[in-house]
Amino acid sequence: MQLLSPTAWTDYELIDSGDFEKLERFGKYLTIRPEPQAVWDKQLPRSEWDKMAHVRFVSKSSSSGEWKKLKEMPDQWKINYAFAGNNHWAKNELPTLTFRLGLTSFKHVGVFPEQAVNWEYIYNSITAIKANNPRFLNLFAYTGGASLAAKAAGADVTHVDSIKQVVSWAKENMDHSNLSNIRWVVEDALKFVKREEKRGNKYNGIILDPPAFGHGPNGEKWKLEDNINEMIKGVVNLLDADEHFLILNAYSLGFSSIIIENLLREKGGKKLETGELFLQSKVNNKLPLGVFGRFKNF
């Protein structure tokens, strides 16, 4: 089992975590947000957190709340992500992604920083595929970090999410990153996969990052433990026979990487990698943020 964390991201930093909160820097602005995994004590005193932070999220219910500004800052701002790439690439040859962030009523700001590990894997995998115009599918795609990584690497990208406003946000990130021609689909992910199976469509790369709970645009219900096995059975049928890779990412309390291994073992075989994603804080504690499984065939 691997433990993976982003490295050398200039515009992001986890400063501290604990007491069910995390203190993060996005660009030049510091946020305090709830974090259910942070069951330990803070390393820095609460007074230091409040002194450093620009804004704190105050929960009003399990799914919503409001931001309390501690210092002046905008409601929206941008950050960049520069790819690390493989060692044989010169830094100035690699693309940079730009994300528009914002203070939402559901505590998120528009990017999950731990996913940079997956962006690097996607970028490196697509650039290694020999097929012309490799096809990439991003399911439960949110604001599009994985879609942007694939497009920057030269893929034909399909981006699927059930929330229209989030897809619009992803389009903004595409424009800010000087990319174009991503295919946007607002649909229930499981329905989309079943339809692609019937059509016989194939992809060289697929990532799915499903939530613990969710709803499709027409009220379709998603529950991770109830639906993930059916989803994986469909997704593996969409993989190109000759060159393909797959990433399954899951953030759900109590969801083990062994579950991921069991779901992907038959298709991934000896090439299957599993583990946890985490963020390393400035004060040296580690914040776990999901489990993953991935494999490639090329």
Q: What is the pLDDT of residues 143-165, one digit of tens each?
A: 999 999 999 999 999 999 999 99
**pLDDT value for 14:** 98
Q: At 218, is the pLDDT very low, low, confident or very high (cuts 50, 70, 90)? A: confident
Span 210-235, mean pLDDT?
89
Position 215 pLDDT exceeds 90? no
Per DSSP, helices labelled H in 143-245 are 145-152, 164-176, 189-199, 224-236
Note the pLDDT of residue 85: 67
Radius of gyration of the chain (CA): 19
pLDDT digits (tens, 9 = 90+) for 87-124: 444 445 789 999 999 999 999 999 999 999 999 999 99
Structure tokens at 66: 């409001």
Distance in angstroms (rounded) separating the CA atoms of residues 100 and 30: 15
According to CATH, what is the number of the domain 76-297? 3.40.50.150
What 3-state class would DSSP assign to 195? helix
Phi, psi of 116 (to 5 degrees): -60, -30
The CATH homologous superfamily of the domain defined by 2-69? Golgi alpha-mannosidase II (2.60.40.1180)
CB 173 within 8 A of CB 148: yes
Question: Does the pLDDT value for residue 84 go beyond 90?
Answer: no
User: Could you tell me the two tokens for 133?
Assistant: 């115009």
pLDDT for 21 equals: 97
Per-residue confidence (pLDDT) for residue 213, from 0 to 100:
82
Q: Where are the domains of the chain?
A: 2-69, 76-297
Contact 234, 197 (CB under 8 A): yes
Whole-angstrom distance, CA of residue 230 vs CA of residue 234: 6
Question: In the structure encoding, which two tokens stand for residue 88, read together?
Answer: 């044989």
Mean pLDDT of 192-213: 96
Q: Is 283 left (phi over 0), alpha (psi -120 to 50) or beta?
A: alpha
- What's the confidence (pLDDT) of residue 89? 47
* Mean of pLDDT values over 65-73: 97
Assess contact for 246 and 1: CB atoms under 8 A.
no
Two tokens at 44?
């820095």
In order of 36, 90, 136, 148, the CA distances from 95 in angstroms are 34, 11, 18, 10
76-297 and 2-69 share a CATH fold = no
